[in-house]
Amino acid sequence: MEISAKTPVYCVIGHPVGHSLSPLMQNRAFAAAGCDGVYAAFDTADAKGAAAGIRALGIRGASVTIPHKVGIMDFLDEIDENARQIGAVNTFVNSGGKLRGCNTDGQGAVQALAEHIAVSGKKALIIGAGGAARAIVHALKAGGADPYIANRTPEKARLLAEDLGAQAVSMDAISGRSFDILVNTTPVGMHPDTDAVPVPESALVPEMHVMDIIYNPLRTKLLTKAEAAGCHVIDGVGMFVYQGALQFSLWTGLDAPVAQMRQVVYDALKF
């Protein structure tokens, strides 16, 4: 696909974004879908200026990453109900100069899980109580799951659970309890601290579905231990790909070429 004067432009805004895999993944998606479009990365600490620039230049949509997921909301024209309930935006769509904020993080995680297990009616233990946990718990509830939240700081788990109609559970009380699903949303186990595990081994029971949202490394110590304990394991690429696939669909109205998006991300992470 040749870039022309008519090619719609999309981008990610964040700080830093130098290591983002979104440009690689979204440009592969445009090519695989045979859809005119190009996606660039803008490293900016200025959320207000970025929103104004996107409006002025007619950039059709953007991904939003750290540290702008909450701050950008003040500069958009509309926030959809899902993003409002999560309290953060990871995507916006520019329709004729009107910027509408959305959030695909939670639904991305649930779609990644849904490739392996139907979440409805399942007990899901979420480790962590930050922004990612909030989006995932919200989407799990919407998908009919029964979420529990355990966090290093128990008060934050309690507040999040109260806010979203989930249950808080103490870190000391998760061992030996039967959950169908466990999702790590903390940075524990991420490069360079790859020997760290966010839960005791006794919390990992056979047949449980264990997902780590970390994809650096691809195989975290949590997933290695979970596999050894007889769990089904799901790496962090699934959530990353599906949150991006949902963005692609919001921008283009097309089904995203998920298999090609996943492949380019795996290829990038393996080398």
Which residues does the annotation mark as catalytic?
Answer: 69
Question: Closest Cα to residue 140, out of 179, 189, 93?
Answer: 179
Q: Are 17 and 242 in contact (CB under 8 A)?
A: no
- Kindly tell me which of 84 and 158 has the beta carbon lying closer to ligand ATR: 158
Interface pick for ligand ATR out of 130, 165, 200, 230 (rule CB under 6 A): 130
Q: How far is the CB of 199 from ligand ATR (least distance, A)?
A: 10
Q: Is 200 in the site for ligand ATR (CB under 6 A)?
A: no
Q: Is 241 in the site for ligand ATR (CB under 6 A)?
A: no
- Kindly tell me which of 115 and 155 has the beta carbon lying closer to ligand ATR: 155
Q: How far is the CB of 206 from ligand ATR (least distance, A)?
A: 25
Q: What are 162's two structure tokens?
A: 């109260």
Q: Are strands 9-14 and 38-43 parallel, antiparallel or unpaired?
A: parallel
Q: How far is the CB of 132 from ligand ATR (least distance, A)?
A: 3
Residue 237: how many other CB atoms lie within 10 Å: 19
Q: Is 85 in the site for ligand ATR (CB under 6 A)?
A: no
Q: Is 153 in the site for ligand ATR (CB under 6 A)?
A: yes
Question: Closest Cα to residue 23, out of 219, 247, 217, 187?
Answer: 247
- Kindly tell me which of 35 and 159 has the beta carbon lying closer to ligand ATR: 159
CA distances to 139, 140, 146, 204, 250 from 126, rounded to whole Å, are: 12, 10, 10, 13, 27
Q: Is 101 in the site for ligand ATR (CB under 6 A)?
A: no
- Kindly tell me which of 183 and 256 has the beta carbon lying closer to ligand ATR: 183
Interface pick for ligand ATR out of 102, 132, 136, 261 (rule CB under 6 A): 132
- Kindly tell me which of 184 and 247 has the beta carbon lying closer to ligand ATR: 184
Interface pick for ligand ATR out of 126, 188, 199, 239 (rule CB under 6 A): 188
Q: How far is the CB of 67 from ligand ATR (least distance, A)?
A: 10
Q: Is 103 in the site for ligand ATR (CB under 6 A)?
A: no
Longest dimension (CA), the chain: 60
Q: Is 82 in the site for ligand ATR (CB under 6 A)?
A: no
DSSP-H helix ranges across the chain:
22-33, 47-57, 81-86, 105-114, 131-142, 154-164, 221-228, 237-252, 258-270
Q: How far is Cα 91 from Cα 12, in angstroms, rounded to an integer?
A: 9
Q: What are 25's two structure tokens?
A: 């993944």
Q: Which residues bind ligand ATR (CB under 6 A)?
A: 128-133, 151-153, 156, 185-188
